[in-house]
Structure 1
Amino acid sequence: MVKAVITGAADTAVGRLEGSTSLGLQAEAACAAVADAGLSLGDIDGVLCAYSFTAPHLMLSSVVSEFLGIAPSYSVAVQAGGATACAQVMQAAALVEAGLCRHVLCVCGDNRLTGMSRDQAVAALSEVGHAEFERPYGIGVPPAYALVAQRYMHEHGVTREHLAGVAVAHRINAMRHPKAQMRTPISLDDVANSKVIASPLRLLDCCLISDGAAAVVVSAADAARDTAKGGVAILGTGQMNTHEHIVAAPSLTDFGCKQSAAQAFARAGVRPSEIDVAEIYDSFTITLLAELECIGFFGRGEAGPAILAGAMDIGGALPCNTHGGLLSYAHSGAAGGMFHVVEAVRQLRAEAEARQVADAELAFVHGDGGILSAHCSLVLGRS
């Protein structure tokens, strides 16, 4: 029996938002999500906030609640990199299922594009590396993912064209979204000829840097009856952390998304083949390609050719990242993962307009943080 539902979802404009602040963006998304649910801020009794690179605070959830003028009975900040948004939804579902809260606000946002210099961004990302065994030798986030890409290509026959196909598919989807940061068409050659960042990954294999925020409201099933749109059911959740630093990864080709997805599917009582639309973390082209295969949507070495054949398109075998993902829609820290959640909600509500997947009833959402380290999966269903 469904006990938790997403009753409200919203995101702000994305891209370069001059004059924006992390707190302002989070407040905008939060108020819009609460309004989307047909609730007032006074109805919110739980707040789960992410983290901010531009305005860090030890108790950011309390800061956001104070700014909104609310005093929730439960408030905490969640920090799991790109898995943060899905982990917030998973935790919010547990809170309402336990009867501790009725309506939990989950919000993420940052102004990473206009609020940070290039040096500040590089310094922030370098913190991901192990202080003793990685950072002194210069490895950063793109080189770590390039290491994964090199090994995955070696073991499973993935080609440069397959990686480029992931980037092109995202851009095609983003072109249908009026708010997407990048809507200019790109080709396989454009990706292949873009600047090398860390071989084999090129500029167009890498996610965007953006300003923006997104939020959802998770409500108890009985409380959802009084909301504006009824809600999207949270059918299954799962989480798995296999390592933190790439030097300690048990594998460079097999990741915790396999276990977290298996948990979510089992709890929802569905199979990967039953999913109508997927929104899966895509920090780099290799991230999505490897996760599609680890999760079980495609066999090893099969995702690349399938994507080149149109599998990710809204009419394809597995419509995926229908808003354009982190590669073309936007990526603003933890909000990047929340954009995926919001898009899944809109698909299940049939609110996606030109990018709508026909008759979408089941959605899968996945986020991962670090170097394919922390994983959280959601199965959502149309009410």
Structure 2
Amino acid sequence: MDDTFPRGRTAIVSNATYGLGEAPGLSSMDLAAHASVTALSRIGLTPADVDGVFIGLPDDYLSGLTLSEYLGIKPRISDNNRTGGSAFQTHVAWAAMALAAGQCDVALIAYGSNQRTASGKLVQSNRPSPYEGPYRQLLPISSYALAASRHMHLYGTTRRQLAEVAVAARGWAKLNPEAFMRDDLTIEDCLAARLVSDPLGLRDCCLVTDGAGAIVMVRADRARDFTPKPAYVLGAASAVTHRDITNMPDLTVTGVAEAAPRAYAQARVKPADIDVVELYDAFSINTILFLEDAGFCPKGEGGRFVEDGAIGPGGRLPVNTNGGGLSCVHPGMYGLFTIIEATRQLAGEAGARQVANVDLAFAQGNGGMLSSQAVVILGSEATL
């Protein structure tokens, strides 16, 4: 079957975040609504202009209906898809196809979570399988610890290399005023931190924060009416390989290995063309796995690839330039924030962390226990 994704026919024209870190007294939906109104108002639109709604909250399984009611939107099309943190990349794919087909004219993609101030811990949305439950694993971290252990066994990956990922993320976060964690972090700090689920320690784990984000998409022929630097959607693809970690076909190969080649083909680019990479770093091992599976380095070489600050500020490949889920924000499902940061880098809006001459950005989302992977490739006008 031919892949007829509408390359470059739609674009992200606005974005906003709200309540990153701690936002006491606000519900997840309050946060999502604030981000949505902010993103719309930046380009002179109101909720009444929206006719496509895409959202998936951790604590509202009818959030598409709730957001529409909350903001007074009567959408022609909506999607409440829940694939975990990869949902928002799939929302971009469906919104692009809906816009290109004339099913809607203004698509709003939003997310919000108050998990830090509401509960102070990760929202337990994962249920143990009957095969895993008796072992009393910590979800989701123990699943990712299995992947890390396997990668170490097969390829010689070390805890020091995992620490390189966390330190690089912190380096970017120190340049980002929105980031929740901006204090100094060293390799030694990471190695000395308490183990949470062997071999992953505290600094290998994402933050637990509140936060919300929203983006607005329109067809490309209208994009320049709203912003001088739209982020054109060049490709978007996803893959599901399993649900529970015990059914993952290979603990060191994720669905990014399937999704990324399709997204590259749609976008007509290759990994070497990408200027900035925004990955779903819920755990430090994620960054290594996804860099390999997306083709930025060979399988098994991810640990060595990230050494010596290679993915931090001043490194050879800018990765997670906002600080990622490890140091910027992680309100339960992080995928939308990789898209927002990619959009900001393309627009030249990233301030002190801005990478020079960005024309192509890779934004990835991860859902479940490395279960659902989705990739969006965004480009500047020069890439059309």
Question: Structure 1-normalised TM-score?
Answer: 0.94
Task: Label 1:191 to 1:324 Cα distance change in 2 as closer, same or farther (>3 A).
Answer: same
Tell me the amino acid that sits aligned with residue 63 of structure 2.
L
Tell me the amino acid that sits aligned with residue 220 of structure 1.
R
Alignment partners' CA distance in 2, 1:274 and 1:144? 32
Q: After superposing the two structures, state which structure 1 stretch, 219-228 or 242-251, moved more.
A: 219-228
Equivalent position to 1:46, from 34, 40, 52: 52
Q: Classify the secondary structure of the residue corresponding to 2:306.
A: helix
Q: Which residue of 2 is the match for residue 35 of structure 1?
A: 41
Q: Which residue of 1 is the match for residue 21 of structure 2?
A: 15
Q: 1:101 Cα deviation (Å)?
A: 0.7
Q: After superposing the two structures, state which structure 1 stretch, 254-263 or 225-234, moved more.
A: 225-234
Q: Is the 8 A contact 1:42 1:70 kept in 2?
A: yes
Alignment partners' CA distance in 2, 1:365 and 1:8? 16
Q: Classify the secondary structure of the residue corresponding to 2:325.
A: helix
Q: Which residue of 1 is the match for residue 118 of structure 2?
A: 115
Q: Classify the secondary structure of the residue corresponding to 2:375.
A: strand
Q: Which residue of 1 is the match for residue 370 of structure 2?
A: 372
Q: Which residue of 1 is the match for residue 95 of structure 2?
A: 92
Q: After superposing the two structures, state which structure 1 stretch, 15-24 or 221-230, moved more.
A: 221-230
Q: Classify the secondary structure of the residue corresponding to 1:234.
A: strand
Q: Is the 8 A contact 1:314 1:356 kept in 2?
A: no
Q: Is the 8 A contact 2:321 2:353 kept in 1?
A: yes
1:107-146 matched pairs, under 5 angstroms: 107-118=110-121, 121=122, 124-127=124-127, 129-130=128-129, 132-139=130-137, 140-146=139-145
Task: Label 1:117 to 1:311 Cα distance change in 2 as closer, same or farther (>3 A).
Answer: closer
Alignment partners' CA distance in 2, 1:315 and 1:10? 26
CA RMSD of aligned residues (A): 1.4
Structure 2: segments with no counterpart, 5+ residues: 1-6
Q: 1:8 Cα deviation (Å)?
A: 1.0
Alignment partners' CA distance in 2, 1:50 and 1:136? 30
1:161-172 matched pairs, under 5 angstroms: 161-172=160-171
Q: Is the 8 A contact 1:126 1:135 kept in 2?
A: no
Alignment partners' CA distance in 1, 2:274 and 2:371? 24
What percentage of aligned pairs have identical amino acids? Answer: 39
Question: Structure 2-normalised TM-score?
Answer: 0.94
Q: Is the 8 A contact 1:12 1:214 kept in 2?
A: yes
Q: Is the 8 A contact 2:229 2:346 kept in 1?
A: no
Alignment partners' CA distance in 1, 2:376 and 2:313? 20
Q: Is the 8 A contact 1:170 1:324 kept in 2?
A: yes
Q: Classify the secondary structure of the residue corresponding to 1:379.
A: strand
Determine if the alignment matches structure 1 residue 67 to structure 2 residue 70: yes
1:1-383 matched pairs, under 5 angstroms: 2-53=8-59, 56=60, 58-118=61-121, 121=122, 124-127=124-127, 129-130=128-129, 132-139=130-137, 140-229=139-228, 231-334=230-333, 336-383=334-381
Q: 1:117 Cα deviation (Å)?
A: 4.8
Alignment partners' CA distance in 2, 1:373 and 1:170? 23
Structure 1: segments with no counterpart, 5+ residues: none
Structure 1 runs of 4+ off > 6 angstroms?
none
Alignment partners' CA distance in 2, 1:68 and 1:343? 25
Q: How many residues align?
A: 374
Q: 1:338 Cα deviation (Å)?
A: 1.0
Q: Which residue of 1 is the match for residue 3 of structure 2?
A: none
